[in-house]
């Protein structure tokens, strides 16, 4: 089992470009979430999903879109990249109502 | 006010020492608490859950103090391999599955 996978590992974008960060899991977990981690800020929740077709906003959703068409995949879209979106992005999954989260290896994004 | 706060450290301790970290949370309705370990440039990994009655796993002990709204992590007999950043996670009171993380406490264990 691969667990939680994320692609790409690294990405450099220019301001205004768009891209999609991929997250996939084979753990059959209902709940998936996206976090960003910045120095001194800890992990901040961007968007989350409790199942296919259901998504909701976290603490810092502006500039990001998500969709959940399958249990396995939860892509994060940056609509028009800004330097403030330079960060490390982690995808995480957990069973519904079981709080233990499992994280992917992260995507390091730089926006110039 | 932040939902979850931690002392960033670093805590520099010698091998064999006992070290403790606290994590305070603001929402008294929170019900679910965890400690994660994060190595440099890696993803967070679950270390242990924090139960109302406390939780012990080898050299690690986690406790919850609801009255003062904090959780703690105690590491006994520190090893060099314990050097990492320790993150606490607390769920939102109105959503069991939504979590807030602290910014982490860095631990350096020295020989």
Instruction: Tell me the shortest Cα–Cα distance from A78 to chain B, in angstroms.
Output: 21
* Four-CA torsion A110, B3, B6, B7, nearest 10 degrees: 90
A59 → chain B, closest CA residue:
B100
Residues of A in contact with B46 (CB under 8 A): 100-102
Angle value at C-alpha B58, between B52 and B61, nearest 5 degrees: 30
Q: Compute the mean pLDDT over every residue in chain B, rounded to the nearest whole number.
A: 94
B103 touches chain A (CB under 8 A): yes
3-state SS of chain B is: CCCEEECCCCEEEECCCCEEEEEEECCCCCCCEEEEEECCCCCCEEEEEECCCCEEECCEEEEEECCCCEEEEEECCCCHHHCEEEEEEEEECCEEEEEEECCCEEEEEEC
Each residue of B30-62: pLDDT tens digit?
A: 999 999 999 999 999 999 999 888 899 999 999
Q: What is the mean pLDDT of chain A?
A: 95
- Interface residue B98 vs chain A (CB under 8 A): yes
* pLDDT tens, residue by residue, A12-47: 999 999 999 999 999 999 999 999 999 878 899 999
């Amino acid at each position: 089992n691969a667990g939680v996978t994320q692609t790409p590992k690294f990405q450099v974008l220019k301001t205004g470009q768009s891209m999609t960060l991929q997250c996939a899991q084979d753990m059959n977990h209902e709940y998936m979430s996206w976090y960003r981690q910045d120095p001194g800020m800890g992990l901040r929740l961007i968007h989350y999903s409790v199942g296919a077709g259901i998504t909701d906003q976290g603490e810092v959703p502006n500039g990001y879109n998500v969709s959940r068409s399958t249990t396995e995949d939860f892509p994060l879209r940056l609509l028009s990249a800004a330097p403030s979106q330079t960060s490390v992005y982690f995808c995480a999954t957990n069973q519904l109502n079981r709080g233990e989260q499992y994280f992917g290896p992260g995507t390091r994004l730089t926006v110039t | 006010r932040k939902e979850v706060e931690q002392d960033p450290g670093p805590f520099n301790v010698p091998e064999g020492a006992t070290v403790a970290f606290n994590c305070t949370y603001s929402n008294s309705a929170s019900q679910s608490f965890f400690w994660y370990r994060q190595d440099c440039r890696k993803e967070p990994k679950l270390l242990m859950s924090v139960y109302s009655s406390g939780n012990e796993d080898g050299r690690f002990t986690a406790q919850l103090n609801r009255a003062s709204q904090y959780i703690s992590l105690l590491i006994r007999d520190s090893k060099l391999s314990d050097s990492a950043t320790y993150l606490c996670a607390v769920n939102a009171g109105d959503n069991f599955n939504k979590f807030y993380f602290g910014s982490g406490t860095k631990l350096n264990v020295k020989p």
